[in-house]
Amino acid sequence: MFLTAAPEYHLGMLHLHSTSPERWLSQVDQNLNVILIDHAHCEQKAASTAMHLMFEYVENEELRDEMTEIIAEELEHFHMVLALLKQRNIRFYKLKPGTYGRKLMELCRRQEPHKAIDRLLIAALFEARSCERFVLLRDHLQDSQLSDFYGSLYESEARHHATYVRLAQSYGSVDAVNCRLEGLAAAEATVVADGCELPRVHS
């Protein structure tokens, strides 16, 4: 069973080929604290991804400017999740990563400019899936503090998604980038359908 998309956005806007399965919300319900800890890691990882992209493609002025903004915003999200953990007396610790990121990165082509396109589009899909799931959490969680928290976060992830897709177009034609995005999004939907037994934001 797949969940219904919330009305504020549609899957097409996020270029996702599927909504999340109900199985994921059961993982959330049974492991809420671990999901929150993983969420902190995700924000930290999102800042790190943007930092790596900035170093790699520093001559691209638009990319450089956008990455500095995204790094700052993701670190702000990281601080917000850490504060939430602290307030709830949940210890932050290193978690074994789920399989989602590795499976997506395996799809990244090795030669430039394809590599740049793929890295940016994979980052875009990460943001899109986070956005979709934050809306699901907002609507699903009974805890009003958490529900409000996720309601306040999803828009920035949708914006990051759009930024990464636009930046990918610095390295290929709009048609070539869209075609690749469709292919990667189809693969992403398969990764989500296969799932991961570890409870994670992207499992």
Instruction: Please give the residue ranges that form the binding site for Fe ion (CB under 5 A).
Output: 43, 46, 74, 77, 127, 157, 160
Helical spans, DSSP H, in the chain = 11-14, 22-30, 32-56, 61-87, 100-105, 114-140, 144-168, 174-194
* 134 versus 171: smaller Cβ distance to Fe ion: 134
> Whole-number minimum distance, CB 43 to Fe ion, in Å?
5
How many other C-beta atoms lie within 10 A of the C-beta of residue 61?
A: 9
Report which of 122, 115, 130, 109 is spatially closest to residue 41, judged by C-alpha positions.
130
**Is 58 strand, coil or helix?**
coil
**Is 2 strand, coil or helix?**
strand
Paired residues of 21 in beta bridges: 2
> Whole-number minimum distance, CB 200 to Fe ion, in Å?
15
> Whole-number minimum distance, CB 190 to Fe ion, in Å?
23
Paired residues of 2 in beta bridges: 21
* 38 versus 43: smaller Cβ distance to Fe ion: 43
* 30 versus 68: smaller Cβ distance to Fe ion: 68
> Whole-number minimum distance, CB 71 to Fe ion, in Å?
10
* 13 versus 176: smaller Cβ distance to Fe ion: 13
Report how far apart, in Å, the C-alpha atoms of 26 and of each of 94, 151, 177 are: 23, 20, 35
13 burial (CB, 10 Å; 0-12 / 13-18 / 19+) is: middle
* 74 versus 118: smaller Cβ distance to Fe ion: 74
> Whole-number minimum distance, CB 110 to Fe ion, in Å?
26
Paired residues of 132 in beta bridges: none
> Whole-number minimum distance, CB 74 to Fe ion, in Å?
5
How many other C-beta atoms lie within 10 A of the C-beta of residue 150?
A: 18
* 17 versus 39: smaller Cβ distance to Fe ion: 39
